[in-house]
Structure 1
């Protein structure tokens, strides 16, 4: 349980650090886009290696692929609803998208902690941390530019971090006795949702900020995640 708490604090802390970065910090648009794409590439590798591949072993290729597709479809439907309600080009919309993305992501993180070794958990948690940080920074920055008070913006992101922390803890505690093949389906559902969120929320923003180097940054993120995973596992 202690590992769960530590990992949750690290991952959710990225939202708080990102919010502070967006409210008070300043980065060139090119660097911001590069970092977002880098984080997205790292998360792609971790989703495949820590969620999808183990799930195929525990269930089957067909079951895993169907679950990934269902997760992507569910997220896309929710994301469409968010865009219709809040709009896709404002901080509130990004906050809602991160919450919808983060709930299955953190549930999966909690599930991944069940019986997992420290290297595997560290790889997934690190990738989620890198993904959350620039996303939160971008959302908080847009909200700040919209005229909201800095205190209210930070409290809003703090509440989001608390919600996502609860999701990870619930995933770890409530699903501890679930059979492996059921956990495999849950992991793949979450993985599909996160991949869809990368395609609709993360990479478009990275391309908007830095369309020249976003592709290279994505590949670098994937390669770095692979190297870190290899070192941790080897």
Structure 2
């Protein structure tokens, strides 16, 4: 349990580090785009190897398909409501947008840790950590420059976001630790489907806008990185 807390804290803590970079430092747009695409590629493979394939092996195809489809639909509906109905202006809207992307990732991390150690989920954890850094850096910089927020307020918001996402990961771990394999597999696939949807609607388009020429290479490198980490971890 202690290792689970440590993994979650390190991964979510990357949001605070990224916010500090955004407020006090500078991350070039092309570098940000490259890292986002790298993380996206790594996440894509990690979701398959650490969430979807285990469900297929321990449960069945129907559970896997329904879970992934359900997750993608849920994310798409919520993302639409935030963008088109609720808006993304102001602190509440910005926090909602960030947590919409982050909660599925951290829920995925939490349920992936059930019955596995940090080594077995190294690829997924590293992918989420890698995606958190540029996301927080870009968001914090936007809040400071475009919203006119103070540095303390920006760091405070991202710290609160890190705490919320940590709770999502721990909730996923604690709530589903003792359920049967079919339900656990379904939850894993719901989380995976939501993250896949976020990659298609948020992550890869953002990376392309920042660094159109090398986003394909970065994505491929991310896939290779996840593959290597998965092999090292014994996945």
TM-score, normalising length: structure 2: 0.93
1:226 and 2:227 equivalent? yes
> Once the two structures are superposed, what CA deviation does each residue of 1:124-180 show, in whole Å capped at 9, x if it has no partner?
211111111111111111111111111101101111111111111122122221111
2:178 is paired with a residue of what secondary structure? coil
> 2:121 and 2:26 mapped to 1: Cα distance?
31
Deviations 1:202-228 (A, max 9, x none): 111111111111111111111111122
The SS at the match of 1:178 is coil
Give the Cα separation in 1 of the matches to 2:8 and 2:27: 27
The DSSP-based 3-state class of the residue aligned with 1:119 is: coil
Distance 1:37 1:224, change over 3 A: same
In structure 1, runs of 5+ residues without a counterpart are none
TM-fit CA distance, 1:186: 0.2
Show the counterpart of 1:102.
Answer: 102
Whole-Å separation in 2 of the counterparts to 1:32 and 1:39? 11
Counterpart in the other structure of 1:144? 144
Contact kept, 8 Å, 1:45 with 1:225, in 2: the verdict is yes
Provide runs of 4+ in structure 1 moved above 3 Å. Answer: 90-95
Q: 1:101, CA displacement in angstroms?
A: 2.3
Distance 2:198 2:93 in 1: 13
TM-score normalised by structure 1 residue count: 0.94
Verify the 8 A CA contact 1:83 1:93 in the aligned structure 2.
Answer: no
Task: Count residues with an aligned counterpart.
Answer: 233
TM-aligned CA deviation for residue 27 of structure 1: 2.1
Tell me which residue corresponds to 2:132.
132
